[in-house]
Amino acid sequence: MTYSIKDVAEIFNLSIYTIRFYDKEGLLPFVSRNKAGRRVFTESDLYLIRTICCLKDTGMEIKAIRNYVDFVMQGADTIDPRKSLLLEHRAKILRDIENLTQNLNQVDSKLEIYASPKAADIVKEQIRFVEEEKRANGLPSPYAAQK
């Protein structure tokens, strides 16, 4: 069982363009061609592409992914560098999750205000505060500036 570029595009929800672009960028050196020059994907290819998508979806740059793929293509001697590359990336993912979680809290705080029955009052009070602060510093109100 093999797959065409279209199959792969559908499986991974990528455009055909993107797959060819990844190939151009050296992310798919393992994909073979038939006599007509078309890409032929095997199950093992899909397995590695799944990893590539995982790295991409967690924000790894294409250059870094190519690094990883190159290690994979060099065989069992590159296990150590692969490991440290993934460990570093793992740390980045953890930082990203941590960061998103913190920002989620901030969004939730704002939503709490907006959901409160006193929302309008709170907002009006904030506006008063902003205008007072601007005035105290000899600056124009920003609200008037809106058309």
Partner DNA sequence: CTAATACCTAGAGTTATATCGAGGTCAAGC
Partner DNA sequence: GCTTGACCTCGATATAACTCTAGGTATTAG
Please state, as a whole number, how many other Cβ atoms lie within 10 Å of the Cβ of residue 49: 23
Is residue 30 part of the contact set for DNA (CB under 7 A)?
A: no
Size of the site for DNA (CB under 7 A): 24
Is residue 36 part of the contact set for DNA (CB under 7 A)?
A: yes
- Segment 28 to 87, residues that bind a second copy, using CB under 8 A: 29-32, 34, 40, 42-44, 50-51, 54, 57-58, 70, 73-76, 79, 82-83, 86-87
Q: What separation in angstroms does the CA of 2 have from each of 27, 54, 71, 124?
A: 19, 22, 24, 63
Tokens matching residue 72: 């994979």
Query: CA 134, 126, 118: angle at the middle one, nearest 5?
Result: 165
Q: Pick one of a second copy, DNA, none as the site partner of residue 63 (Cβ within 5 to 8 A by kind).
A: DNA
One residue of 13, 37, 115, 117 binding a second copy per CB under 8 A: 115
- Closest distance of CB 136 from DNA, Å: 19
> How far apart (Å, rounded) are the C-alpha atoms in residues 71 and 31?
16
Q: How far apart are the first and last CA of the chain?
A: 63
> How far apart (Å, rounded) are the C-alpha atoms in residues 59 and 81?
19
Size of the site for a second copy (CB under 8 A): 60
Q: Pick one of a second copy, DNA, none as the site partner of residue 133 (Cβ within 5 to 8 A by kind).
A: a second copy
Under the rule (CB under 7 A), what is the footprint of DNA?
Answer: 4-7, 14-18, 20-23, 33-39, 56, 61-63
